[in-house]
Amino acid sequence: MTPVLDASPSEKTAAPFPALAGADPALAPVVDKVLAGIRLTRDDGLVLFESPDVWTICRLADLVRRRLHGDVAYYNINRHVNYSNVCALSCKFCAFFRKKDEDGAYEMSVDDIVADATRAAAAGATELHIVGGLHPWLKFDYYTDMLRAIREAAPNLHIKAFTAVEIVHLARLSGRWKQRYEGILAVLRDLKDAGLGSLPGGGAEVFDDRVHDEAYKGKIRSDEWLDVHRAAHELGLNSNATMLYGHIEQRAERLHHMMLLREQQDRTLGAWAAAQGITPQAQPTSGGTDAPAIVLTGPDEAYPGARLPMPGASATGYFQTIIPLPFFPDDSELEALPAPTGLENLRTLAVARLMLDNFPHVKAFWIMQTLEMAQFMLQNGADDIDGTVVWYDITKVGGASTHQETTVWDLQRAIREAGFRPVERDTLYRPIERVDGSTWRVVADSSVTA
């Protein structure tokens, strides 16, 4: 996690924060806490969500983001593979799924997936991002065969695959769901042995039972989603977390979602710190846990990046990134709803940066935010805009084609225009150095990867 230390000491010093004309006085206590590196409470989060002064909120999120990452903004070269759109569920917000014999239903063979992986590796990708529907008839072997075959054909591609919902589905179809947490661990162990490198953050939606029952009943609930990620972290796999907002949830429910993620990250990093003999700084706890608050975003944080578990050097995984995802109503059962506005998207991302003080990274996922909006977001809390992608079938922005792709040049230009220094990263946020188009190495590492 060296990138977190990229900010120079002067950039980490609390800068003066002059109030602007028209600044909301209700934000003053929150500003004071952020300047001092004190954890924000749920009530502070509500103030951030309700204040009309979005500009001050964005400036605060930018301050925190610069403490962690200075002028660095990350991108990667990746390829998405959606192995099947056949799904046993029918979530109301989802325009992706099909039933088995419905027009447009598909499933990729392992050979097709390997061909994609090989092409991606030859084009210089460092990551394959694999997710799909909950296919009722594919066997567990299909998933492990897929991972092994990719690993063999493209050994240097990091495989980030399967949302928590898919992992529970795999536990069910392999007969291990009765064992719940132990079953999840067993499934993840098998997948890791076959080549799984990390978990994406999808399927989290909004952690709230009312929203769950109304919009995605049948999908796993928050406790199960969190258990899957806890199990992954226990096995040394890093993961991300998403939040799909802007549909039938309230802002307070978004905040609840963030609080649950923060509590779980406290427990994970707290256990790791205790094992390392690191004493946490005195901070209020999250409220829902006895774990000490692990604040990474203060001016002199007690857990600088270099002391986070290093990939491959520790048995502990953790949440790397929060990815707020705006809801797109087109073609879904909820298409009568308006999509969230640009201002709401900016605010939600800024609040995520401020509340999730123990998440090293915040991603402005350009595919769903648009590249233009992602530029703004780099200036209000995001430090990552995801990658070149090539193919994204889960959400079609504005009904656009499923083929969504951008070039490294466009990503770099977008980052530079926003005032930041583009740094290519691998999936674990280690900076990448290109030897040539398809040959690369992790900067901190001496081995060259092709």
60 or 87: whose CB is closer to ligand SF4? 87
Query: Please, what is the minimum distance in Å from the beta carbon of residue 83 to ligand SF4?
Result: 11
Query: Please, what is the minimum distance in Å from the beta carbon of residue 131 to ligand SF4?
Result: 8
Report DSSP state, residue 39: P
Residue 369, class by beta-carbon neighbours within 10 Å (0-12 exposed, 13-18 middle, 19+ buried)? buried
48 or 243: whose CB is closer to ligand SF4? 243
101 or 290: whose CB is closer to ligand SF4? 101
Reading the block at residue 412, the tokens are: 């770099």
128 sits in which H/E element: strand 127-131
Q: What does the binding site for ligand SF4 look like in residue numbers (CB under 6 A)?
A: 87, 89-91, 94, 96-97, 133-134, 165, 216, 219
57 or 95: whose CB is closer to ligand SF4? 95
Query: Please, what is the minimum distance in Å from the beta carbon of residue 371 to ligand SF4?
Result: 24
DSSP result, 263-285 = HHHHHHHHHHHHHHTPPPPP---
Residues 6+ apart with CB under 8 A from 6: 69, 70, 72, 423
Query: Please, what is the minimum distance in Å from the beta carbon of residue 18 to ligand SF4?
Result: 45
223 or 290: whose CB is closer to ligand SF4? 223
1 or 164: whose CB is closer to ligand SF4? 164
Contact 173, 140 (CB under 8 A): yes
Reading the block at residue 183, the tokens are: 């079953």
Q: What pairs with residue 324 in β-bridges?
A: 243
The HSE-up count of residue 371 (CA atoms within 13 Å, CB side) is 18
Query: Please, what is the minimum distance in Å from the beta carbon of residue 79 to ligand SF4?
Result: 19
User: Which has the closest alpha carbon to 259: 357, 178, 347, 326?
Assistant: 357
Query: Please, what is the minimum distance in Å from the beta carbon of residue 396 to ligand SF4?
Result: 13
User: Which has the closest alpha carbon to 242: 387, 333, 363, 159?
Assistant: 363
User: Which has the closest alpha carbon to 226: 164, 166, 287?
Assistant: 164
Query: Please, what is the minimum distance in Å from the beta carbon of residue 203 to ligand SF4?
Result: 7
215 or 296: whose CB is closer to ligand SF4? 215
Q: In degrees, to the nearest 5, what angle opens at C-alpha 360 toward C-alphas 77 and 326?
A: 65
